[in-house]
Amino acid sequence: MAVFVSDKHKQPLMPCSEKRARLLLERGRAVVHKRYPFTIRLRDRVGGDTQALRLGIDPGSKATGLALMRESDGRQRHVLCLFELLHRGFQIKKALEQRAAFRRRRRSANLRYRAPRFDNRTRPKGWLAPSLQHRVDTVTAWVERLRRLAPITALDQELVRFDTQKLDNPEIGGVEYQQGTLLGYEVREYLLEKWGRACAYCGATETPLEIEHVEPRSRGGSNRVSNLALACHDCNQAKGNQPLGDFLAHDKGLKKRLKANGLSASGRLERVQRQFKQPLRDASAVNATRWALFTALKATGLSVTVASGGRTKYNRQRLGIPKTHALDAACVGAVEALHDWPVPTLMIKATGRGSYQRTRLTRHGFPRGYLMRQKQVHGFQTGDRVKAIVPAGRKAGTHTGRVAVRKTGRFNIQTPQGAVQGISHQHCTLIQRGDGYGYHLTPSINHKGGAGQAVA
């Protein structure tokens, strides 16, 4: 993985190899400017010759791939760095729903006769939900950050559009696009015919049936008709918010009811999964943000080239490259050959910059604890990147990761291997101040699809 280089005035120069960066640091010609992504600053140079670099972007709902490349001889691309940006749209959505629930309870309890004001709010043109706007803002922020570290002159964006109806029915066409799943049916009648007027879990007939969410709402399930099933009262109550596999595998009462109806538990799971379709949240998120991201990238002033997802897949298969978000970004657009792509990928996880909320609440919205008011403890702040060298004890060793500070001075460190708790601040050394992201480096993928060696 290439190392970013800037001159003494912090202007970006061409990235260099790790070996050259190590020599510059050992000879005192450069200092470490940033750890993630690793950047050095030259002490004896101002300006210099640079080449045009291209940044490929593969937008996604949960993760976005970024690939920094150098072009030579037309469409020959040389990969310098790979990044995978992990979004936190689901956490934002969950936090907003919790805040709305707390507000609703508080207003209904204290302001019973408060006039409704939800119709007074207006949304500007192009408004996106906060969980979707987060994806656009995060990608744009990282494009600007990489522009400050490398001389990027052009962007490649995969402008993909998912046909959500074709995902459900590959043979759809013509007027069928205007005929939804519930054409000619009410919801309950549709479910009765779909599930054979029997309980989807135990197969019971001649009993009152209730509408049930196969994937529970509390676990991210939607209200789509494809996520609804019919269940008898006993199965509906017994399942609760359990995942489908756990309920069918471990519920003893269900096994008794299946045996009474002459059915087996193993066959029920396959049958329900065939009937039950996966929600299309991720495809909808990409569809909703693709043009907003394109507009934001155009506002940077760089040349933006768009390409379809089909062309990305064609380039990847033609060149024999494994599928990852970062390598997909390298294959976006017009590519004849891709060189030096087996490099480690820097995983960038959006963690946020903390919360103003100083009160911990129960699930009912009542206080259960209070956080300290100061943000720093012994010079450390939650979100900082630290390295802890513990000389002895059960936690002896070297731990590197994101720190969560405590007033007692004993911190928790989140490492790629898991959380390490109760580390004294005396053993911690600051690596990089918190910037709202967590980082870790994954090994490179070789030409056979296996993992290579990670670079420290």
266 pLDDT higher than 70? no
Instruction: Answer whether residue 180 shows pLDDT above 60.
Output: yes
Statement to judge: residues 341 and 425 lie in one domain: no
User: By the 8 A CB rule, do 134 and 35 touch?
Assistant: no
418's torsion region: left (phi>0), alpha (psi -120 to 50) or beta? left
> Which 3 state secondary structure label does DSSP give 318?
helix
Rounded to the nearest angstrom, the gap between the alpha carbon of residue 86 and the centroid of all alpha carbons in its chain is 4
Q: 376 pLDDT exceeds 70? A: yes
Amino acid at 141: A
Query: Which pLDDT belongs to residue 456?
Result: 33
Sign of CA dihedral 375, 379, 382, 384: positive
Tell whether the model's pLDDT for residue 238 goes beyond 70. Answer: yes
Q: From CA 286, how far away is CA 57, in angstroms rounded?
A: 13
Does residue 276 or residue 250 have the better pLDDT? 250
* pLDDT at 452 exceeding the cut of 50: no
Q: Is 406 exposed, middle or buried (0-12, 13-18, 19+ CB in 10 A)?
A: middle
Please provide the size of the chain in residues: 456
Contacts of 262 (CB under 8 A, 6+ apart): none
**Does residue 101 form part of some domain?**
no
Q: What is the mean pLDDT of residues 337-341?
A: 91
* Same domain flag for 186 and 270: yes
DSSP type of residue 451: B
Residue 34 domain-assigned?
A: yes
Average pLDDT over residues 407-432: 91
289 and 268 share a domain? no
Handedness of CA 337, 339, 342, 345 (dihedral sign): negative
Indicate the helix (H) or strand (E) that contains 108: helix 89-110
Residue 218's pLDDT is: 86
Give the pLDDT score at 455: 35
Sign of the four-CA dihedral 71, 72, 75, 78: negative
Residues 186 and 267 in one domain: yes
Does residue 446 lie within any of the structural domains? no
Say whether both 264 and 302 belong to one domain: no
Contact at 8 Å (CB) between 61 and 282?
yes
The CATH number given to whatever domain includes residue 209 is 1.10.30
**74 occurs within a structural domain:** yes
pLDDT mean across residues, the chain: 86
Residue 440 pLDDT > 80, yes or no? Answer: yes
Mean pLDDT, residues 76-86 taken together: 94
Same structural domain, 380 and 411 = yes
Pairwise CA distance, residues 446 & 456, whole Å = 18
Does 37 sit behind a cis peptide bond, omega within 30 degrees of 0 on the bond before it?
yes
CA terminus-to-terminus distance, the chain: 10
pLDDT at residue 52 greater than cutoff 90: no
pLDDT at 171: 72
| Percent of the chain's residues with pLDDT above 90 | 44
Token duo for residue 57 = 């972007």
Domain boundary among 243, 275, 307: 275
CA dist 248 and 362 (Å) reads 31
Predicted local distance difference test score (pLDDT) of residue 454? 37
Integer Cα distance of 349 and 120 in angstroms: 36
Residue 403 belongs to domain with CATH number: 2.30.30
Nearest to 327 by CA among 53, 3, 82: 82
Within this chain, do residues 215 and 252 fall inside the same structural domain, yes or no? yes
Which of 112, 6, 99, 103 is closest to 50 using CA atoms?
6
User: Collapsing DSSP states into helix, strand and coil, what is residue 446?
Assistant: coil
pLDDT at position 411 over 70: yes
Q: Provide the pLDDT confidence category of residue 447 given band limits of 50, 70 and 90.
A: low
Residue 97 domain-assigned (yes or no): no
> Where do we find the tokens 């919801």?
187
Residue 124 is assigned to a structural domain of this protein: no
Tell whether 206 and 57 lie within a shared domain: no
pLDDT over 50 at 30, yes or no: yes
pLDDT tens digits for range 195-222 = 888 888 888 888 899 998 988 888 888 8
- Contact of 188 with 211, CB cutoff 8 Å: yes
426 pLDDT exceeds 80? yes
Q: Give the per-residue pLDDT at 48.
A: 85
Which CATH number does the domain housing residue 323 bear? 3.30.420.10
The yes-or-no verdict on residue 451 having pLDDT over 70 is no
Beta-bridged to residue 418, according to DSSP, are 415
Q: Which of 337, 298, 291, 307 is nearest to 58 (CA)?
A: 307
In-domain check, residue 99: no
Same domain, 67 and 145: yes
Mean pLDDT of 341-351: 93
Asked if residue 290 and residue 153 are part of one domain, the reply reads yes
Domain, as residue range, for 28: 3-42
Q: What pLDDT sits at residue 453?
A: 40
What per-residue confidence (pLDDT) applies to 320?
92
Residue 455 lies in a domain: no
Q: Is the pLDDT of residue 267 over 90?
A: no
Structural domains in the chain (count)? 4
- In the predicted structure, residue 184 carries a pLDDT above the cut 70: no
pLDDT band at 380 (very low <50, low <70, confident <90, very high): very high
Residue 303: is its pLDDT beyond 80? yes
Nearest to 347 by CA among 134, 1, 85: 85
Q: What is the DSSP letter of 217?
A: G
Among 168-172, 238-242, 415-419, the least confident range: 168-172
Whole-structure pTM value: 0.80
Q: From 316, 350, 384, give the residue that closes a domain.
A: 350
12: β partners: 6
On the 0-12 / 13-18 / 19+ scale of CB atoms within 10 A, 26 is exposed
Q: Are residues 68 and 135 in the same domain?
A: yes
Structure tokens at 399: 């731990």
Q: Check whether residue 66 and residue 156 sit in a common domain.
A: yes
